[in-house]
Structure 1
Amino acid sequence: MIFSNLLILLGSVAIGFVILRIILSANFILSVLKRWWRSFEDRCHVYQFYKIPEYNESFQENQLYKKVSLYLSSLASIEDSDFVNLFSGKKSNEFFLQLDANQTVQDSFFGSKISWKNEAKSDCKMFVLKIRKKDKRRILRPYLQHIESISDEILQRKKEIKIFTNVGSENGTIGRWRSVPFTHPSNLDTVAMDLDLKNKVKSDLESFVKAKQYYHRLGRVWKRSYLLYGPAGTGKTIFIAAMAKFLCYDVYDVDLSRVLDDSDLKSLLLQTSNKSVIVIENLDRFIGEKSTKVSLAGILNFMDGIFSCCGEERVMVFTMNSKENIDPAILRPGRLDVHIYFPLCDFSAFKTLAGSYLGLKEHKLFPQVEEVFQTGASLSPAEIGEILIVNRNSPSRALKSVISALQSNGGGRGSGNVGRRLTESGSRNGNSDDSPESASMMCRESVHTVREFRSLYGLLRFGSRKGASFDLEKEGN
């Protein structure tokens, strides 16, 4: 009996082996047939070939070669090539693939199959593009534009972001920008923010980045401007850092106290690069100072004057503590397209901060904290955040300290009611000052952040904050 079962088992194994041999043989035969057919098509000149060498005749680097290399490394089909080089990136757990010499990779575009080969000879390297002749007129130019677009996005993501500040002028010469790496870890994904509001912010930024042709068709400068306003410590600066990280744009922080005059401010604008976030903080304070050497006309020209067209894909951000008594000419759409209000902390924002700083979702003291907030007491997210940091090893002590601080310092401020009225009230007509009645027109949703970033040359300070309300205004002419 055992012997019979053994024979049956051996017979099954033999049959399986034969079937496997047949399958492998069939795959081998199919592979040979495909290669033969491709060779036949090549001989019949069904395909058009384009060479993209690494260097041109003058031994200058071919930028298209670099872009093609980046693009091919991003294709999922590169893993199907027989030999692929694997490299580690600058960040931990980051890897990227690169096509080995004399290997091919397949791609498709607008329904057409495309093949790339990495040819490496002793004297030069090149990529060879193979497209069907019947498709070349239809897809070649759009396909190359597609490659440039994807490679530019990859380069932008890999770019080392820098933050620039304008230094004082010396010997009467125009000031220059100085930079350091911008390594702040915050971004829009990690900032504690109402999900709907976060999606609005992301959507607005993504739409702007992709709108080059749209802006050009309208005859408008390709830029977007934001106004962030609210009390100190509510998170305006951390929001700027998150925007810059999301866009992978350099940051130019303009210190108006170091600007000589309107002409100097204009010169600084001309020295900024494309794909950048240009920031002026506390604009309301500078406008109100008599010692400021920059005039209102100079500020307006900086925002949307004729020289603002000498660069593209810029996001301009201005911060204020209040819009009250600000000239309406500054606030109009076109100069300030998006207004975001940053109120003081309420209980909802406090719970977000407690979750981020202490890892608390619920606590027995939360009802007591909420009760204090309901009396109208409020502190800035920065103030509450510092209390939570100091007492981070004891959540109960941290919450008790917050309650004590609200009772002793927040009750007389009454600012919490302002924040709640702004976020709870509906849209209605009114002017654009900072009274609760008029500001509610601009503020419809709330957003919370964790910590406010301040770093370079004393321009930026640390703190935490509750976020903002968001309104996309229609752009003016």
Structure 2
Amino acid sequence: MFSPIPFQLFGLLIVSFLVLRFLYKSSLLYVLSKWWRWFQDACHVYQFYKVPQFNEHMQENQLYRKVSAYLNSLASVEDSDFANLMSGNKSKEINVGLDPDRPVSDTFLGARVVWRNEKSEMDGSRALVLKVRRTDRGRILRPYLQHIHSVFDEIERKEVRLYVNTEPERNGWWRSVPFNHPATIETVVMDSDVKNKVKSDLESFLKSKQYYHRLGRVWKRSYLLYGSPGTGKSSFVAGMAKFLRYDVYDIDLSKVSADSDLKMLLLQTTNKSMIVIEHLDRFLAEKPTAVSLAGILNFMDGILSCCGEERVMVFTMHGKDQIDPTVLRPGRIDVHVHFPLCDFSAFKSLASSHLGIKEHKLFAQVEEMFQRGSSLSPAEICQIMISNRTSSSRALKAVITALQLQTSAENSESGRLSKNASGRGPEESGETKSFFNGESVHMMKDLGKLYGLLRMRSRRKSSDDMDLAEKENSQHGTSLATKL
């Protein structure tokens, strides 16, 4: 005799049977759909279109870039085999990307098309291949490409990218990441009149395409940002890029091995882009270098500059006094913007943004220090305020101490130079020591580090002044010899 099956077990068997039947039907439908697709492909004649990554001049094909961005935005990418999962710009954001050599389908005006990203065996470059039925080609091809352009424009308005040059034999000429720098032109502390003039110049440039063409000039604009380290040049570059909504191409000249490579980097930048070379004066002072001065000049305004339009070139320098005048002539540099050390007006702006104060009883003492000739870079003052942001009084006292240390460092350096010349040095003063009474230990450590940095900056400044004096004396002696 068989024992009766418990009701719970019977219910479990029924559920298992239904699940297995569903999976069988689902898998069967999947196989049938693949067979039907194969049958359709066999019955229709297809036309193939290739979108190469580079053109015959090794310039980046902008259509390849647009199609890539469009395909990665499709929901059907998630259904593609081996789709790539990548973290997004925001926390907990996950993006799905198209895997190379895997097909992805799209539907437009009732027609189905298939894209595949293929790699060339000849030179390793990639190409996007479009497969479309011949019967649909005349009806959808051009409208479909216009649709891709429109979607790409929407994507571009949302994201600015930062490109950096790499070793071309391994990674191509450029690598990019999303450009999420928080700085804007408004947040950079600088003279308001200068800031407004730069913004007005950029706005005028954006509207001047026909004007440049009527003059027979390339539609581009070049800026020189010069000033001491920490005065806001790099932040202003980021603000310009966000203001223009241009991609940023940051060129590291130390990674460029020849003038020809510099030309290739320029050729593979896009329209509506900002091309940035920082610390150009430091690079020009290094000898020998892989890139020549002639290569730099051709990069700035040579014949290759006509291979793209609506570009802004930005160069940053510590100072321009010892730069070859041919680098700075009009046409190569259109706008010169000086970034000075912090003055009292800039200090008040920093105090307002970093500490939330418009006035304070210590402002008079800070203003007096600036009037005596003490100066710090905006970055140095910002760091002090950020470290002491919980107490505005402590932050202002730390700024005053740093200004005194800066003056002490310069006096010490000038005294050292004077002692080297005359054998005597200045008498030591205890004023700076007495100022530390009542300050915390951690503040003294931070200011001690700052003091060392200020001494290094003062020595570098003195060394530059001595080099400039020697250069002027040498030129003066040469001119006297010529006269004689």
For the structure 1 residues 308 and 391, does the alpha-carbon distance in structure 2 shift closer, same or farther, using more than 3 Å as the test? Answer: same
Residue 407 (str. 1) matches residue 404 (str. 2): yes
What does residue 238 of structure 1 align with? Answer: 235
Alignment of 1:84-99 (within 5 A): none
Tell me, what secondary structure is at the counterpart of 2:230? Answer: coil
In percent, how many aligned pairs have the same letter? 67
Residue 168 (str. 1) matches residue 134 (str. 2): no
Residue 358 (str. 1) matches residue 327 (str. 2): no
Alignment of 1:247-262 (within 5 A): 247-262=244-259
Contact 2:188-2:232 within 8 A present in 1 as well: no
Residue 302 (str. 1) matches residue 299 (str. 2): yes
Residue 337 (str. 1) matches residue 326 (str. 2): no
| Whole-angstrom CA distance in 2 between matches of 1:400 and 1:190 | 24
For the structure 1 residues 215 and 174, does the alpha-carbon distance in structure 2 shift closer, same or farther, using more than 3 Å as the test? Answer: farther
Alignment of 1:16-165 (within 5 A): 155=154, 158-165=157-164
Contact 2:354-2:382 within 8 A present in 1 as well: yes
For the structure 1 residues 168 and 199, does the alpha-carbon distance in structure 2 shift closer, same or farther, using more than 3 Å as the test? Answer: same
What does residue 180 of structure 1 align with? Answer: 177
CA drift at 1:193? 4.4
| Whole-angstrom CA distance in 1 between matches of 2:233 and 2:316 | 7
For the structure 1 residues 216 and 167, does the alpha-carbon distance in structure 2 shift closer, same or farther, using more than 3 Å as the test? Answer: same
Contact 1:162-1:181 within 8 A present in 2 as well: yes
Q: 186, 200, 205: which one pairs with 1:189?
A: 186
Gaps of 5+ in 1: 1-57, 64-89, 92-120, 125-147, 415-477
| Whole-angstrom CA distance in 1 between matches of 2:396 and 2:233 | 25
Tell me, what secondary structure is at the counterpart of 2:385? Answer: helix
Contact 1:174-1:264 within 8 A present in 2 as well: no
What does residue 393 of structure 2 align with? Answer: 396
For the structure 1 residues 412 and 219, does the alpha-carbon distance in structure 2 shift closer, same or farther, using more than 3 Å as the test? Answer: same
Q: Which amino acid aligns with 1:372?
A: M
| Whole-angstrom CA distance in 1 between matches of 2:200 and 2:278 | 24
Tell me, what secondary structure is at the counterpart of 1:293? Answer: coil
| Whole-angstrom CA distance in 2 between matches of 1:362 and 1:315 | 39
Q: CA RMSD in A?
A: 3.2
For the structure 1 residues 183 and 176, does the alpha-carbon distance in structure 2 shift closer, same or farther, using more than 3 Å as the test? Answer: same
CA drift at 1:203? 1.2
Tell me, what secondary structure is at the counterpart of 1:315? Answer: strand
For the structure 1 residues 263 and 400, does the alpha-carbon distance in structure 2 shift closer, same or farther, using more than 3 Å as the test? Answer: same
Q: Which amino acid aligns with 2:166?
A: V
Contact 2:219-2:310 within 8 A present in 1 as well: yes
Contact 2:344-2:370 within 8 A present in 1 as well: yes
Contact 1:270-1:307 within 8 A present in 2 as well: yes
| Whole-angstrom CA distance in 2 between matches of 1:211 and 1:312 | 11
Residue 386 (str. 1) matches residue 389 (str. 2): no
CA drift at 1:152? 11
Tell me, what secondary structure is at the counterpart of 1:319? Answer: strand
How many pairs are equivalent? Answer: 277
Q: Which has the higher contact order (CA 8 A, sep 6+)?
A: 1
CA drift at 1:175? 5.4
CA drift at 1:169? 4.4
CA drift at 1:196? 3.1
For the structure 1 residues 369 and 272, does the alpha-carbon distance in structure 2 shift closer, same or farther, using more than 3 Å as the test? Answer: same
For the structure 1 residues 378 and 215, does the alpha-carbon distance in structure 2 shift closer, same or farther, using more than 3 Å as the test? Answer: same
Tell me, what secondary structure is at the counterpart of 1:252? Answer: strand
| Whole-angstrom CA distance in 2 between matches of 1:284 and 1:263 | 21
Contact 1:378-1:411 within 8 A present in 2 as well: no
CA drift at 1:197? 2.8
Tell me, what secondary structure is at the counterpart of 2:347? Answer: helix
Residue 371 (str. 1) matches residue 365 (str. 2): no
| Whole-angstrom CA distance in 2 between matches of 1:358 and 1:410 | 24
What does residue 266 of structure 1 align with? Answer: 263
Tell me, what secondary structure is at the counterpart of 1:229? Answer: strand
Contact 1:391-1:397 within 8 A present in 2 as well: yes
What does residue 321 of structure 2 align with? Answer: 324
The structure with the larger Rg is 2
Q: Which amino acid aligns with 1:164?
A: Y
Contact 1:377-1:411 within 8 A present in 2 as well: no
The TM-score, its normalising length taken from structure 2, stands at 0.53
| Whole-angstrom CA distance in 1 between matches of 2:109 and 2:181 | 45
| Whole-angstrom CA distance in 1 between matches of 2:400 and 2:248 | 38
| Whole-angstrom CA distance in 1 between matches of 2:288 and 2:323 | 18
Tell me, what secondary structure is at the counterpart of 2:333? Answer: coil
CA drift at 1:155? 4.1
For the structure 1 residues 201 and 157, does the alpha-carbon distance in structure 2 shift closer, same or farther, using more than 3 Å as the test? Answer: farther
The Cα offsets for residues 83-127 of structure 1, whole Å up to 9 and x where unpaired, read as xxxxxxx99xxxxxxxxxxxxxxxxxxxxxxxxxxxxx9969xxx
Residue 226 (str. 1) matches residue 218 (str. 2): no
Contact 2:190-2:339 within 8 A present in 1 as well: no
CA drift at 1:411? 5.0
Q: Which amino acid aligns with 1:364?
A: K
CA drift at 1:174? 9.1
More helix by share: 2
Contact 1:379-1:410 within 8 A present in 2 as well: no
